[in-house]
Chain A
């Protein structure tokens, strides 16, 4: 039994590629939920579009003499990654416009239901055989981000001792966390601006903002687009960092995780998404390792918790965190209660 592993696994997850992805999605969601009060439960749909945008643009072109599946392929291929990122952003903007149009004028729970449905529609369509020529259905697309790793300046090897990141992982993390820092700075500047103050006023009292002559619908739409694009960038990073996309990566649970993250870190705060990501991934990964170590070390008997039950226990803990935080400390660990009066009206 190596209890040191608990800390190491927790740290590795809290700083790794997955953390970058969650941080980006959470920064976007923080603009929706934390600053504007929009209940977007389809952030994973934006991530899916981001991931597939870059994967489809940059995937290998079919070899004419190759297999049947490759011969059926349609759509772009072999383009530079940058074009893929641009496509991802464009797709995210379109999705935000389509979603926001019908729902942003309605009560917020309608947006919640519509967005979660939209995320699932996208996943169903992308995994269907009908879309296979474009998306390769359930199998997804792999090995398309070679160009990104080709410009990696870090010499090959493993880094940070026991954390044991490969040079490729380290490169992805470096670029990813830089982007997180950049977007956080941008969010900070935006929220200090008059534009950001209008968003907060919409969250606090939509009617008051409207009475002051602000076009509430337009502001909400801008917030939805901006946060959605951030989510799509999260998807871009997940796709590039793992060199793979598959539709069933983008299940609604991912959005719920992002909610736990921003509530944990403090919704409507600048550092909330980053702090929340690190704490959330450290706790959940650490707990998983802790349980595994305790079971393998014989401290917890297999008859009480069997190894395959560790995964569901992790989810139960996430559910408990979400429910208890929301009930007893909606402002999160560091948040300001005044910023989290979601149900003022």
Chain B
């Protein structure tokens, strides 16, 4: 059985836990103390330079380049060539642990996989490194981690070595993870789809609206420069700012361009330029790091009908579905919703029957901006905040939108859920690294078989 089910989930993040996480504050405090104790050890390499002494420097990280994340609190133990334990250490805030060695020779550093952060396994399932340490040198033992599905339910590489029935038994768990991812995609894709439906614009800058929401929430919630308020409050502010940001972009950029008669393909290219600008402005202000919010990080899993899930993820699914149903009701029952559907269906007919099309489009952007920001807050709370999170989500939004039927709200919802579920469930059978490949392949297959999508109406697309 996978160990992380048995141990409390400890994420290597600062900050407090939710109400359910109180026992784990003790763990966090313990880690903090350990970190303080180990801090002098972390400075050791410099000392080593002056006074030659052999050591192993273990480093636990995931990702690469600017996206690299280091993990504290992981235990690494060193054994000599005869298998005798020579020392053990816990990684510090830099994800590094130094184990002093008795002398030069061959040593094996072993990762205690039970102490790994939630949702991570050693990349390629390699939990030990053997190093020949020269006299007076420090041997490096690098332990790259990989995400194990969303919930540690599948090992990093291809689910290799597990029996088929084992893989099958992880499907229900991954299905729920997929619903979580899918509902986040759905929330963001509705805006994208409605914008396309009402204006014909394929908005390549939509992913940046997601990132924007997450970063605004990060500022209010976790940034040292911000007010450091609770995530729920910060999220609401982010949604409001995101909504006004969306309608601001419509008023200042798209409405004037439409008025000048700029074509749809030109506008598509302009939206790519816009996405460049927004993403890099965020990069300058927020930086390239991947950082968590301060709330709801450390939670223990609860068991609902045989599925292990942290309350945060359950809340994400609940909130998303509430919002999706709310939007459905809004589209069906309210005046603006009916006007919106009319414009999406036939703009000219809607206009000639007295609907203020410009007002409807502004509303769509307001809605799209707010929903994207909401999606960004949700995504940031489950996967941390990063400048590329939105762009990475954009292709999944496209996949969901096309699968469900481009231009429709309900299609985007259904398609996005399918995309999320397929991405996650695929990790039971195939490599985690390929999980988005399946979603994007579906996009191409749908175009081949049923280009109008699951819920779209058949028309000539040529």
A14 to chain B, nearest CB (A): 21
The residue in B279, B441, B444, B451 that gathers the most chain A C-beta atoms within 10 A of its C-beta is B444
Q: List which A182-216 residues lie within 8 A (CB) of chain B.
A: 206
Q: List which B425-462 residues lie within 8 A (CB) of chain A.
A: 430-431, 433-434, 436-437, 440-441, 443-444, 447-448, 451, 461-462
B121 to chain A, nearest CB (A): 12
The answer to whether A313 has its CB under 8 Å from any CB of chain B is yes
Contact A117 B265 (CB under 8 A): no
Contact A120 B440 (CB under 8 A): yes
Chain A contacts of B441 at CB under 8 A? 121
- B interface residues, tally (CB under 8 Å): 48
The segment from A1-9, A169-177, A279-287, A317-325 found at the interface with B is: A317-325
Contact B269 A322 (CB under 8 A): yes
Contact A342 B263 (CB under 8 A): yes
Q: List which A84-105 residues lie within 8 A (CB) of chain B.
A: 99, 101-103, 105
Chain B contacts of A118 at CB under 8 A? 440, 444
Contact A128 B448 (CB under 8 A): no
Contact A129 B451 (CB under 8 A): no
The answer to whether A298 has its CB under 8 Å from any CB of chain B is no
B350 to chain A, nearest CB (A): 21
Contact A322 B447 (CB under 8 A): no
The answer to whether A19 has its CB under 8 Å from any CB of chain B is no
- Cα distance A327–B260 in the bound complex, in angstroms: 9
The answer to whether A71 has its CB under 8 Å from any CB of chain B is no
Contact A130 B158 (CB under 8 A): yes
Contact B124 A129 (CB under 8 A): yes
Q: Known contacts A101-B448, A342-B266; is A117 also within 8 Å of B276 by CB?
A: no
Q: List which B32-78 residues lie within 8 A (CB) of chain A.
A: 64
Q: Known contacts A105-B462, A117-B399, A342-B265; is A312 also within 8 Å of B451 by CB?
A: no
Contact B157 A323 (CB under 8 A): no
Q: Known contacts A101-B448, A129-B157; is A318 also within 8 Å of B440 by CB?
A: no
Q: Which of A112, A128, A256 is B202 in contact with, Cβ under 8 Å?
A: A112
B461 to chain A, nearest CB (A): 5
Chain A contacts of B355 at CB under 8 A? none
Q: Which of B277, B399, B437, B451 is A316 in contact with, Cβ under 8 Å?
A: B277
Chain A residue nearest to B399 (CB atoms) is: A117
Chain A contacts of B266 at CB under 8 A? 326-327, 330, 342-343
Contact B274 A138 (CB under 8 A): no
A60 to chain B, nearest CB (A): 23
Contact B284 A309 (CB under 8 A): yes
- Cα distance A326–B265 in the bound complex, in angstroms: 10
The answer to whether B330 has its CB under 8 Å from any CB of chain A is no
The answer to whether A109 has its CB under 8 Å from any CB of chain B is yes
Contact B269 A319 (CB under 8 A): no
Q: Which of A112, A117, A263 is B268 in contact with, Cβ under 8 Å?
A: A112
Contact B280 A102 (CB under 8 A): no
The residue in B260, B265, B430 that gathers the most chain A C-beta atoms within 10 A of its C-beta is B265
> How would you classify the secondary structure of chain A's contact residues: helix, strand, loop or mixed?
helix
Interface residues on A, range: 35 or more
Q: List which A240-281 residues lie within 8 A (CB) of chain B.
A: 256, 259, 263
Contact A121 B202 (CB under 8 A): no
The answer to whether A64 has its CB under 8 Å from any CB of chain B is no
B72 to chain A, nearest CB (A): 24
Contact B277 A323 (CB under 8 A): yes
B184-215: CB near A (< 8 Å → 1, else 0) gives 00000000000000000010000000000000
Chain A contacts of B349 at CB under 8 A? none
- Cα distance A323–B270 in the bound complex, in angstroms: 4
Contact B157 A110 (CB under 8 A): no
The answer to whether A83 has its CB under 8 Å from any CB of chain B is no
B376-410: CB near A (< 8 Å → 1, else 0) gives 00000000000000000001001100100000000
- Cα distance A343–B275 in the bound complex, in angstroms: 22
- Cα distance A105–B447 in the bound complex, in angstroms: 10
The answer to whether B81 has its CB under 8 Å from any CB of chain A is no
The answer to whether A127 has its CB under 8 Å from any CB of chain B is yes
- Cα distance A121–B451 in the bound complex, in angstroms: 20
Chain A contacts of B123 at CB under 8 A? 129
Chain B contacts of A103 at CB under 8 A? 447
Contact B284 A114 (CB under 8 A): no
Chain B contacts of A128 at CB under 8 A? 431, 433-434
Contact A130 B431 (CB under 8 A): yes
A114-156: CB near B (< 8 Å → 1, else 0) gives 1011101100110111100000001000000000000000000
Chain A contacts of B399 at CB under 8 A? 117
The answer to whether A106 has its CB under 8 Å from any CB of chain B is yes
The answer to whether B264 has its CB under 8 Å from any CB of chain A is yes
Contact B269 A102 (CB under 8 A): no
The answer to whether A113 has its CB under 8 Å from any CB of chain B is yes
Q: Which of A99, A105, A263, A313 is B280 in contact with, Cβ under 8 Å?
A: A313
Q: Which of B64, B273, B440, B444 is A323 in contact with, Cβ under 8 Å?
A: B273
Q: Which of A105, A127, A320 is B273 in contact with, Cβ under 8 Å?
A: A320
27 contacts between A and B (CB under 8 A): A39-B268, A102-B448, A105-B461, A110-B447, A112-B268, A113-B398, A114-B443, A117-B395, A121-B441, A128-B434, A129-B124, A129-B157, A130-B431, A259-B269, A263-B269, A312-B283, A315-B276, A316-B281, A319-B273, A322-B270, A322-B276, A323-B269, A323-B274, A326-B266, A326-B270, A342-B266, A343-B264
* Additional pairs, 4, CB under 8 Å, beyond known A102-B447, A318-B273, A343-B264: A114-B443, A117-B440, A316-B277, A330-B266
Interface residues of B (CB under 8 A from A): 64, 123-124, 156-158, 202, 257, 260, 262-270, 272-277, 279-281, 283-284, 395, 398-399, 402, 430-431, 433-434, 436-437, 440-441, 443-444, 447-448, 451, 461-462
What 9 A-B pairs are tightest by C-beta distance, nearest first?
A: A343-B263, A319-B276, A323-B273, A322-B273, A102-B448, A319-B277, A128-B433, A312-B280, A117-B440
